[in-house]
Structure 1
Amino acid sequence: MTTPAMPQEILLAEPRGFCAGVDRAIEIVEKALAKFGRPIYVRHEIVHNTYVVNDLKERGAIFIEELDDVPPGATLVFSAHGVSQAIQKEAARRGFQIFDATCPLVTKVHVEVAKLHKEGYEFIMIGHKGHPEVEGTMGQLESGIHLVEDVADVAKVQPSQTDKLAVVTQTTLSVDDAADITAAVVARFPLIKKPKMQDICYATQNRQDAVKVMSPQVDIVIVVGSPTSSNSNRLREVAKKLGTESYMVDHADELKPEWFEGRSRVGLTAGASAPEVLVKAVIDRIKALGAVSVRKMDGIEETVKFPLPKGLKLDA
């Protein structure tokens, strides 16, 4: 009986891993810890990655969901996903020192919602119910935002008027799914106002595009990312839709040798909140199973950098 062949080559997606919004959010917590000392309170996981959150916990960050858990006079950081107006106002009322780590691309959606709301618009939001980014965006208004999760939901939306209707999108969705849902929205509401540029962020788009190029070239795709990470889940789905078996792992220990039996080429990518140290550990584990070479794909080089909030320069 012959032993099934194990992987020979790893093909690394490019780009993969941290995006500018995640880099900025983590740096805000790190700089706050360095400047003000521990503890620093963070509302919700700063980004959806177990390794990152545990690392910051060890350094003095305390992650909370309710403002009641933050003591008076504390320093509070809002996560990269954004928060509702109600939470912003309540945190300010309580007098916390606040640093907002909301990704600027999410803030752009919030600003657009506020601007169009003043002009009398209602909104259809494409996104996943319960995701903190969706809760933050919908929480920019007291009412007038209707959430749709799929094409079927579009038929159920009942806005109070259709003359002034706009569509906004969670930034970490599948580009293809969002396009399908948007098409259904436009078919039902032909005059709906769409963003000048799509809301799905550049990093989400780039990572999905890289997986689309990589998937046909490999026998299996491994995505490094935590179960709570929307954009990581979408990468696995993109590969699966293209017919390539795909798995998502939080860390290298979750890899199972049987996944790789008879598969000579492994595609590897990472969600926008997954650090490169986890990718390297996965590479080492696949090498231990027999892979002898690692090849990096050609891909877009991301040069986006977002500035930190005022008051976090260590010499300030």
Structure 2
Amino acid sequence: MTGADLTILLATPRGFCAGVDRAIQIVERSLEKYGAPVYVRHEIVHNRFVVEGLEKKGAIFVEELDQVPVDAPVVFSAHGVPKSVPAEAERRKMVYLDATCPLVSKVHLEAERHLKQGRHIILIGHAGHPEVIGTMGQVPEGTITLVETRADAETVSFEGDPELAFITQTTLSVDDTAEIVSVLQSRFPKMVAPAKEDICYATTNRQEAVKAIAERCDGIVVIGAPNSSNSKRLVEVAKGRGCEKALLIQRATDIDWDWMEGVSVLGITAGASAPEVLVDEVIDACRAHRSVTIEEVTVAREDVRFKLPRELAS
């Protein structure tokens, strides 16, 4: 297939969202303000290229707060943390900066509001994901129930007849979540819904952009990390919309050129934690093998910006 024509459909929007951009800026500004090293609890965002770039600038990534020297600044990741983490930082009198995406913080506030109003909370999300751990850690144990799948929604039960409300992880499949919500609402018609959908604008837009190209593509590559929820959802959306040949890759070096055999129209997108430089890298790799034409398919324009913490605002 070397030299054969290849049309690339670039899904837009793709790549960095405002929350990821803000989180990376918080680490970079912290390094400028405090000097290296600045510690970061968990990957700031789920992308090795980004993490390694920050490590070169002096960031040190750790899993838990007790790995951070008490006199060193620490940044909490964009996914959010349980309340116990900043409480422990306060107890140790540490300098800390919270890079939690404001749209995740919105879900945290919803959970607290429902708790104050006496409702039991259903959280739709993926067990073990840092965002879910952070959200569940906003309220006491036993006041929130995790629902992962439609099957969970069909069988979940509660003692007594509590007032219910649901919230969701921000990076879920829009369609899958709607299905789960529909099941829950049919079983618990008085369940309170979020005033505004919890799945974030960036997740929704990237999924819509993939839907817009999927039926035209022979193959789709999603640039993102294997532990990135929103990136994995993009692969699922592509397959669900008729492009069974959909692949998650981290870098251009991951492309299997045998897999590319028979692909004359290739869709390219990137998860919300993947920088545009990695998209360029994949396009350049395609150009080295094929004669490439690029068409950008745009479903939305994004102009969202989130403020930095006041400690770092210039």
Match of 1:263 in 2: 263
Match of 2:29 in 1: 31
Match of 1:242 in 2: 241
* Distance in 2 separating the partners of 1:64 and 1:49: 15
Tell me which amino acid in the other structure corresponds to 2:299.
G
2:17–2:273 Cα contact (<8 Å) kept: yes
Q: Percent identity?
A: 52
* Distance in 2 separating the partners of 1:73 and 1:48: 27
Does 2:294 align with 1:294?
Answer: yes
* Distance in 2 separating the partners of 1:4 and 1:242: 28
Shift in alpha-carbon separation, 1:161–1:146, aligned structure 2, 3 A:
same
* Distance in 2 separating the partners of 1:195 and 1:291: 48
Match of 1:275 in 2: 275
**1:157-236 equivalences in 2 (<5 Å):** 157-236=156-235
2:168–2:198 Cα contact (<8 Å) kept: yes
Range with bigger deviation, 291-300 or 88-97? 291-300
* Distance in 1 separating the partners of 2:194 and 2:61: 33
SS in structure 2 opposite 1:266?
Answer: strand
Range with bigger deviation, 110-119 or 148-157? 148-157
Does 2:93 align with 1:98?
Answer: no
Following superposition, the deviation at residue 225 of structure 1 comes to 0.3
Match of 1:149 in 2: 148
* Distance in 1 separating the partners of 2:217 and 2:76: 39
1:7–1:289 Cα contact (<8 Å) kept: no
Following superposition, the deviation at residue 294 of structure 1 comes to 1.3
Tell me which amino acid in the other structure corresponds to 1:124.
I
Shift in alpha-carbon separation, 1:192–1:74, aligned structure 2, 3 A:
same
Match of 1:70 in 2: 68
* Distance in 1 separating the partners of 2:280 and 2:159: 52
Gaps of 5+ in 2: none
* Distance in 2 separating the partners of 1:230 and 1:291: 33
2:2–2:290 Cα contact (<8 Å) kept: no
* Distance in 2 separating the partners of 1:306 and 1:160: 41
* Distance in 1 separating the partners of 2:140 and 2:247: 39
* Distance in 2 separating the partners of 1:283 and 1:145: 44
2:4–2:291 Cα contact (<8 Å) kept: yes
SS in structure 1 opposite 2:258?
Answer: helix
Match of 2:119 among 107, 118, 121: 121
Following superposition, the deviation at residue 66 of structure 1 comes to 1.2
Aligned-residue Cα RMSD (Å) equals 1.3
* Distance in 2 separating the partners of 1:9 and 1:35: 46
User: What is the TM-score normalised by the length of structure 2?
Assistant: 0.96
Q: How many aligned positions are there?
A: 312
1:4–1:262 Cα contact (<8 Å) kept: no
User: What is the TM-score normalised by the length of structure 1?
Assistant: 0.96
Following superposition, the deviation at residue 161 of structure 1 comes to 4.2
Shift in alpha-carbon separation, 1:95–1:286, aligned structure 2, 3 A:
same
**1:38-77 equivalences in 2 (<5 Å):** 38-77=36-75
* Distance in 2 separating the partners of 1:93 and 1:160: 36
* Distance in 2 separating the partners of 1:47 and 1:4: 36
1:7–1:286 Cα contact (<8 Å) kept: no
1:163–1:191 Cα contact (<8 Å) kept: no
SS in structure 1 opposite 2:291?
Answer: coil
* Distance in 1 separating the partners of 2:152 and 2:3: 45
Range with bigger deviation, 198-207 or 154-163? 154-163
Following superposition, the deviation at residue 302 of structure 1 comes to 0.1
* Distance in 2 separating the partners of 1:162 and 1:215: 44
* Distance in 2 separating the partners of 1:156 and 1:299: 37
Tell me which amino acid in the other structure corresponds to 2:226.
P
Shift in alpha-carbon separation, 1:290–1:146, aligned structure 2, 3 A:
same
Following superposition, the deviation at residue 206 of structure 1 comes to 0.2
1:5–1:264 Cα contact (<8 Å) kept: no
